[in-house]
Amino acid sequence: MIPAAILDGILHGSAAQQRRAIAKAITLLESTRADHRAQGDALLTALLPHTGKAFRLGISGVPGVGKSTFIEALGLYLIAQGHRVAVLTIDPSSSVSGGSILGDKTRMEHLSVNDQAYIRPSPSSGTLGGVAEKTREAMLVCEAAGYDVVIVETVGVGQSETAAASMTDMFVLLQLPNAGDDLQAIKKGVMEIADLVVINKADLDPHAAMRADAQITSSLRILSQHGNPENSRHDKALWHPKVLQISALLGQGVDGFWDAVSQYRELQTANGRLATRREKQALAWMWERIDAGLKQAFRQHPQVKNLLPALQQDVAAGRIAASTAARNLLSAQSGQALSAIE
Amino acid sequence: MIPAAILDGILHGSAAQQRRAIAKAITLLESTRADHRAQGDALLTALLPHTGKAFRLGISGVPGVGKSTFIEALGLYLIAQGHRVAVLTIDPSSSVSGGSILGDKTRMEHLSVNDQAYIRPSPSSGTLGGVAEKTREAMLVCEAAGYDVVIVETVGVGQSETAAASMTDMFVLLQLPNAGDDLQAIKKGVMEIADLVVINKADLDPHAAMRADAQITSSLRILSQHGNPENSRHDKALWHPKVLQISALLGQGVDGFWDAVSQYRELQTANGRLATRREKQALAWMWERIDAGLKQAFRQHPQVKNLLPALQQDVAAGRIAASTAARNLLSAQSGQALSAIE
């Protein structure tokens, strides 16, 4: 059942063989054919013991913040230090537009041609959940092939930030020194999950950057006050979200950024939170996929398909209560009278 | 199938008969027995044509903000104007603590003994979704009985605000004039869904109240800038979230509050948004209950129950990929090999 050639290529191939094997593995995992899916699952299970050694870094920011420039600078910096870097992308809009705003390899001209880098555009399969699943699986494949820094990049226009944060060890938010941007990030729940906030293009207006720095630092402090008591700011064994100013274009601040990432990694490894985070992520991910599968099976059920259009109209028109309609549809799927939901 | 005595009591009873009939209807709707549930659904369907004429007002705020005092003042004000007022509560913590922080009738001494008021503490059945479902159904029962203002109150400590907003025509956030409270509200996504923000206890520190007013007004403006283009602030046919200062204890500002609510109601009725909001709420509610039912059936499936403990351990320990485990469990429930999820 396991595609042995692909497995061998990923684990033991030369750099060029690995690239080809990774591409084949990802194609297999993205296939909707049941036999491919079974092979893909067998492959994943065989690869799993070789995963988990990479550092997983999520990077998010709205279009125009300079993500590509920053990731290219960071990637080249890391490769110069002996790392191997994979860049994966979550961009659910790519399945709508047919092309990823983030996936274009020409965005990172120097990094994309580097032997030690692997850049994969966003999968274009349907929902955010589907896109995120493929990205998560691609991440495992890259880790098994020995990439020791995996960057999961996402465009800051939806819920994709949460997806990226939910598969990485550290989540970084790139911000511009613009007034109000921090409120937008708070509103979307992104500020709250950021382990590090980076103000990019700080060189363009140093005063604005200082103001943004102070504002975000204050926001992070206030957000943490009423937050999870586990994240008390007074415990030195815990990481407290930081704010950094950089200029990716001028190459300023990338080393400071990586210092901060390394500090975070050491601290969170020592206090056990990195391992806990990964465990929770894996379980949450399992349930997320179960939910998606349940909904899909429900919508495809013949009886549900029959009843749904008329019931939706009845609910919208107020002829039947929403909860009654839900119970009727659930009974139709299960083929029996349902007792009350929870 | 329809419990005729209850139906008749709700629609045609005296005030005292209505109260008893409402209590019986809610008991029926909260029962987990399948026959009760079927009777409850039949009752709801029979009541539906008599619902929808009330104004549904959601009110949220953290403990200590003065919700009870405000709602009592508002309720008595409305009754003096000839309205009949129902106060329902969503407090998921009541199922954990065994007693509702919000449900105590003694909180509203004068309102609770008034003939024209109906106060119902939070149902204490399990999850937020379950609690919200019962509240939504109780709301329909009260509307059919002729209560023309239904207040859905919630404590601001979780996701219950979203539930309250999702069943009301207007969602009001009560705030204290404290620095940082607005950021907490933005973080929780509550500021974004507020149609009106009320700063209570403004008399205690008028300067702080003015600062909070300016701060929240600015936050609301920034949040709306990048929001849904449908909510453009320049369209006079649309409602723009407002900030009001009141002192519920001194009885100051209740009339101004109701003026703002009435303006909102007139505008949103005239531009058609009230009807659209209710339609969307009903459909979203149906899907929410379907999701809850699907998850419940999944967790109760014998094969899933068998496999789940070991698979969860395998996923947490990294022996099997989360997506593979999800597919295995879904196959176990459906009794067949599943094709790929979405």
- Edge-first strand order for the sheet with A85-90 is A117-120, A85-90, A149-155, A55-61, A170-175, A196-199, A242-245
What DSSP letter does each residue of B37-102 carry, written as one string?
A: HHHHHHHHHHHGGG-S-SEEEEEEE-TTS-HHHHHHHHHHHHHHTT--EEEEEE-TTHHHHSS-SS
Extract the residue ranges of chain B whose pLDDT is less than 50: 227-231, 337-342
- CA-nearest of A59, A101, A61 to A181 is A61
Chain B nearest CA to A80, separation (Å)? 31
Tell me the pLDDT tens digit for each residue of A39-61.
999 999 999 999 999 999 999 99
Angle at alpha carbon of residue A270, lines to A147 and A219, rounded to 5°: 90
Extract the residue ranges of chain A whose pLDDT is less than 70: 94-106, 125-126, 157-158, 179, 225-234, 336-342
Chain B nearest CA to A69, separation (Å)? 25
| Side chain identity, residue A329 | L
Whether A315 and B286 lie within 8 Å, measured CB to CB: yes
Give chain A positions within 8 Å (CB) of B184: 222-223, 226
Q: Which pLDDT does position B98 carry in this prediction?
A: 52
Give chain A positions within 8 Å (CB) of B289: 322-323, 326-327, 341
Give chain B positions within 8 Å (CB) of A130: 341-342
What DSSP letter does each residue of A43-85 carry, written as one string?
A: HHHHHGGG-S-SEEEEEEE-TTS-HHHHHHHHHHHHHHTT--E
Largest CA distance in chain A: 67
How many A-B residue pairs are in contact by the CB < 8 A criterion? 212
Q: Which pLDDT does position A342 carry in this prediction?
A: 43
Kindly state the DSSP code that residue A229 receives in the 8-state scheme.
G
Q: Name residue B247's beta-bridge partners.
A: B252
Whether A294 and B296 lie within 8 Å, measured CB to CB: no
Q: Which pLDDT does position A223 carry in this prediction?
A: 76
Helix (H, G, I), strand (E, B), or coil: what is residue A168?
coil
Give chain B positions within 8 Å (CB) of A287: 326
Give chain B positions within 8 Å (CB) of A323: 41, 44, 133, 136-137, 285-286, 289
Whether B127 and A226 lie within 8 Å, measured CB to CB: no
Alpha carbon distance A341, B19 (integer Å): 26
Task: Give the β-pairing of B55-61 and B170-175.
Answer: parallel
Report all structural domains of chain A as residue ranges with CATH numbers, in order of start: 1-49 (1.20.5), 51-271 (3.40.50.300)
Q: Per-residue b/e over A231-242, b at no fewer than 16 CB within 10 Å?
A: eeeeeeeebebb
- CA-nearest of A221, A213, A223 to A175 is A213
Largest CA distance in chain B: 67
